[in-house]
Amino acid sequence: MSDSVVVPIERETDIVCARQKGRALAAAAGFLSTDQTLLATAISEVARNIVSYAGKGTVTLQTVQEGGRRGLSIVASDNGPGIENVELAMRDGYSTGKSLGLGLPGAKRLMDSFALESVVGVGTKVTMTKWLR
């Protein structure tokens, strides 16, 4: 239905690739440069989450339309170990790996909507959207 890009995330250089593609798609959708940067930063955080905890996964970028508004939706999914305590993971400063513990709650602050689904042993899926103003 609209532009969609799937970026495989397997190693850390893919993080750079994902955020560059995200920025390009955001620019094409009409986002201003400040919002492009917010989107690229949020993509960087969720992509790094995949590399750090699951090893590999995908980031899917898609321009979306709903009602009268347009936006960019980002889905980061992996088949990694999953997150045991989702509530705790969304708390500022919480981290089990090698990050600041700002990754997911930080990404949430950069976006308009954010959903985290995770099943232990099955995988994690982050779905987030930012709307054009």
User: Rule CB under 8 A: is residue 110 a binding residue for another protein?
Assistant: yes
SS percent in the chain: helix, strand, coil, step 5: 40, 30, 30
Looking only at residues 4 through 23 of this chain, which bind another protein when binding is defined by CB under 8 A?
12-13, 15-16, 19-20, 23
Residue 16 or 119: which CB sits closer to another protein? 16
Place of tokens 């590399």: 51
Residue 26 or 75: which CB sits closer to another protein? 26
> x/- binding map, residues 46-65, to another protein, per CB under 8 A?
--x----------------x
User: Rule CB under 8 A: is residue 92 a binding residue for another protein?
Assistant: yes
CA distance 6 to 130: 18
Half-sphere exposure of 45 (CA within 13 A, CB side): 23
